[in-house]
Amino acid sequence: MYKNILWGVAIISLVLVGCAKEQIYISNPPMQTVSTSAFEVKLEPLHAEGYSYYNRFRCQITNKTSGDLFIDWSETFYLRNGKKYGHFGWNGLTFEVLREVKKEPTYLLAAGQKQTSEIFPVKLIGWKEEGVRMKATTPEAGFTLTPLPEGENGMIIGVIKDNKILRKNVSVKITME
């Protein structure tokens, strides 16, 4: 009798798990654009490959001036629910470079130029193979991008024009259906 009850509970549990709805995340708006007289920023969350959650952003910055601008990544921050939550990493960042980064780079953006990058919040990195993460010489060492959390996700961008820093917030709201 006891075995029959256990089998019944196990079968019902498997049926319920098998019928569970996949979690689907959406961004509102799908891409946010913020513009000033000096520059324009487009920020779009990107889905993880093969999954329905977001784990990084596509960021496009356009210089609208007739002079040079500098994107100061040390003055650019990830926003999580309206609060600064660290800096960004970029596509192609390796474990070795991440360990050596002391200061985020400054990037020249010439007049009329556009820069498009895939960026991700460094504080949301998930480490692979916890036991070997400090041994950068092993192939298992490295990191993976974890999901962007539900709520407001975005950036405060720092742009230098005429030796003055200009800041602008841009964000989207990520929800689960």
The two tokens of residue 6 are 């256990």
pLDDT tens-digit series, residues 42-80: 999 999 999 999 999 999 999 999 999 999 998 999 999
pLDDT tens-digit series, residues 116-148: 999 999 899 887 665 444 555 555 556 788 999
Distance CA 167, CA 150 (A): 24
Concatenating the DSSP letter of every residue in 99-149 gives HH-SS--EEEE-TT-EEEEEEEEGGGEEESSGGGTT-TTSTT--EEEPPPP
Q: If pLDDT is split at 50, 70 and 90, which confidence band does 177 have?
A: confident
23-176 belongs to CATH 2.60.40: yes
The overall average pLDDT reported for the chain is 85
Residue type, 9: V
* Biggest alpha carbon–alpha carbon distance for the chain: 83
- Global pTM? 0.80
User: How many CA atoms, within 13 angstroms, populate the side-chain half-sphere of residue 122?
Assistant: 18
Q: Is there a contact between 79 and 156 (Cβ–Cβ < 8 Å)?
A: yes
Cis amide linkage into residue 139, ω under 30° from 0: no
Residue boundaries of the structural domains of the chain: 23-176
